[in-house]
Structure 1
Amino acid sequence: MPPAPQHTVSIAFVRSAVGALDDIGRRAALQCAGIAPELLASDAARVPAAAFAALWLAVGEALDDEFFGLDARRMKVGSFALLCHALVGQRSVERALKQALRGLALFLDDIGATLSTQGGAARITIANRIAAPDARRFADETLLVMVHGLLCWLAGRRVPLARLDWAHPRPSHADEYRRMFAPVLHFDQPATAISFDARVLRGELAIVPAALSAFLRDAPQSVFLKQVNPAGWAERVRRQLRRALLADSAEGPTLEALARQFGLSPATLRRRLDDEGAGWQALKDEVRRDLAIHHLADRRLSIEQVAAQLGFTDASSFHRAFRKWTGAAPGAYRAS
């Protein structure tokens, strides 16, 4: 059984990822990624990050396009790796990031990004000329994943975002952005853009060939996992809940117990989670949901055993909870 996943991905991204494929190609790509096609019908469904990474690769191979067929020009398979190799010789994060944005402009016609600085803030702004609203939004999402993931890799750490603007209305999966990018979101803005501390740009670039090889070997999962903030309170709570559930099959520690562990009062921990847009009960449900999806991939475990490992007293209560979390029965994930 593979290691427990750090997180799962909304089905909204899966639907967008296969949007340029015909029916036969869509079924083939989903099968390659181990994603059951019937999950596309459920707005609450989710897939492991590794499955979405596999889907990205499968769609790229099918279209010979690493940008999901969203742009008039194909970003042919191998373009991202070529771009990363071109960045290694740069002396600073700023020079490498500017080179990356210039490279993306060579690969894509309808969407691009520019870097600007003002005072102590750096801003990457996207210009997007794709007409279809859903495709335009997904192109913004995809380019931000690429650019922010590259920025984190170049800086050697996750770069926190001070502001995130979206040039489209709030979608149903907007909560995904909080964990991927930043807790504070602004929609219906003039342009999609991210802002961060400009001091990051002055950092020295020190990427050795081995680090480049590892980054590309695990891409695209290494790109979007770079963005998860391991030091955030929500992520720290997720780790503790996940560790407890994997260790003893109980429901996990209480908020009060975790607060003591962190040296905080329960009210302070709850407030810090709220500041990141993460509620306590929602985090508990999220961790149990992601572990359930993970356990269901192991066909050696019956659904009853999965329920027991997650602290449910019987399979029927697990079925109800899982359907509430994902909009689908556990068997749909077992089928994938």
Structure 2
Amino acid sequence: MTRTVVEKGTISLRLVDEALREWRARGLDESELLAQAGIAAELFGKAQARVPAQAYARLWRLLAQAMDDEFFGINPRRMKVGSFAFMARVALQEPTLGAALDSALRFLDLVFDGLAPRLERQGGLAAIALDQPAGQVCRAFGCFTLWMIVHGLACWLLGRRIPILSAELRCQAPDYVEDYRVMFTSNLRFARAQSRLLFNADCLELPIRRSERELKRFLAGAPANILVRYRDPQSHTARIKAYLRNLNAERWPDLEALSSHYFMASSTLRRKLALEGQSYRGLKDQVRRDLAIAHLDRTEGHFAELALELGFADTSAFYKAFKKWTGTTPGQYRALIHPELPPPE
């Protein structure tokens, strides 16, 4: 991840409000915290306001120190300061990512009350699942914060981003979800039976290659270094993905035409995307993946029709790409996320 991307990352003020919710509920003054974090109090009340990711990270650290809780006071039991560092050290000792996630999630299960995170494996899919009692209030901000912590650690352990296929939450959709779409995936599903973050299980067998020395640098930069995955909605990555989603795949422009759409040379657009860790080919692949998963979640249509809609030459090419994205075939994926449906004929 480049320094340019970190500096350009921004967070909606709506999430700052969420982060301060428990602090305010205790009747505590936030003005000093905001001043130290570099967040202007005048921004509150402005629905579209955003703050630098580094400012949000500073606020997170300040709240953690003041509350002795790295989880914003969301859970009845505190995630005491130092918990994330301990969890990261435990995970680092494991040989593979799967073992590291198992250890990290077992630790968090000991930390929290009424929130039992665990790693699920279902065929080619893996999930960070959160088991909550039926009567317990499910807060989207809490689920996404926990996933951000665990997923951020997992990405660091492997030295690369782990693509997220979809996020399912037990709660109803909150008023604001756009940063969650940018950070995690456009495939957000609410009012589901269980809260879980889905990804390809292939990465679970990958070895951990980080060292104790690298861990010290990682912890010194946390939580800012797990927030860099936030992208400004006005970044070229976000704008291009939104543009492609609004077009039929057969009408997607080549790089030259796309560059003209944004009034720049193709070499300039290619360089700007590279600074954001992306390529145009990779973005098209991500949009196809997200559209396919969204379609399968709606349980409608045939796979051949979907392959054509997404711009694949034939159904077999679509199957091959989908297996690469998710570790499963389209039929297996649909059966896993909708076990109530009869198996495909």
Please report the TM-score for the alignment, with normalisation by the length of structure 2: 0.65
Output the amino acid matched with 1:108. Answer: F
* AA matched with 1:176: D
Residue in 1 aligned with 2:170? Answer: 167
Are residues 273 and 123 of structure 1, via their aligned partners in 2, closer, same or farther at CA, if it must alter by over 3 Å?
closer
Matched residue, 1:283: none
Q: How many Å separate the matches in 2 of 1:130 and 1:64? A: 28
Q: Displacement, 1:6?
A: 2.7
Corresponding residue of 1:15: 17
Pair 1:166–1:83, CA change in 2 (3 A): same
1:148 aligned onto 2:156: no
Which moves more between the two structures, 18-27 or 39-48?
18-27
Q: Which residue in 2 is equivalent to 1:315? A: none
Query: Which amino acid in structure 1 is aligned with residue 287 of structure 2?
Result: D
Asked if 1:275 is matched to 2:277, the reply is no
1:50 correspondence with 2:61: no
Instruction: Report the AA paired with residue 12 of structure 1.
Output: R
Relative to structure 1, is the Cα distance of residues 132 and 120 closer, same or farther in structure 2, using a 3 angstrom cutoff?
closer
Task: Name the residue aligned to 1:255.
Answer: 261
Question: How many aligned residue pairs are there?
Answer: 255
Alpha-carbon separation, structure 1, partners of 2:201 and 2:142: 25
Distance 1:131 1:72, change over 3 A: farther
Counterpart residue number, 1:103:
107
Quote the residue 1:157 is aligned against.
Answer: 160
1:64 aligns to what?
Answer: 68
Which amino acid in the other structure matches residue 260 of structure 1? S
Q: Structure 1 residues 19 and 276 mapped into 2: Cα distance closer, same or farther (>3 Å)? A: farther
CA contact (8 A) 1:158 1:227 kept: no
Distance 1:201 1:273, change over 3 A: closer
How big is the shift at 1:237?
Answer: 6.3
- Tell me, what secondary structure is at the counterpart of 1:205? coil
Q: Classify the secondary structure of the residue corresponding to 1:162.
A: strand
User: What is the CA–CA distance in structure 1 between the aligned matches of 2:214 and 2:197, rounded to whole Å?
Assistant: 26
Instruction: Give 5+ residue unaligned stretches, structure 2.
Output: 242-258, 271-279, 291-345
Instruction: State the Cα distance separating 1:96 from its structure 2 match.
Output: 0.6
Closer, same or farther: CA 5–254 of 1 in aligned 2, 3 Å? farther
- Amino acid of the structure 2 residue aligned with 1:19: R
* Equivalent residue for 1:190, pick from 187, 193, 201: 193
Match of 1:149, SS state, is helix
TM-score scaled by structure 1? 0.67
Aligned residues of 2:10 and 2:230 also touching (Cα < 8 A): no
Distance change >3 Å, CA 198–CA 274, structure 1 → 2: closer
1:1-336 correspondence runs (5 A): 5-21=7-23, 22-129=26-133, 136-226=139-229, 234=237, 254-255=260-261, 257=263, 260-261=266-267, 272=284, 275=287
SS of equivalent residue, structure 1 residue 19: helix
Q: Which amino acid aligns with 2:172?
A: P
Q: CA deviation at 1:173?
A: 2.3
CA spacing shift, 1:183–1:193, aligned 2, 3 Å: same
Structure 1 unaligned segments of length 5 or more: list them. 239-252, 279-336
Counterparts in 2 of 1:7 and 1:99: CA distance versus 1, 3 Å: same
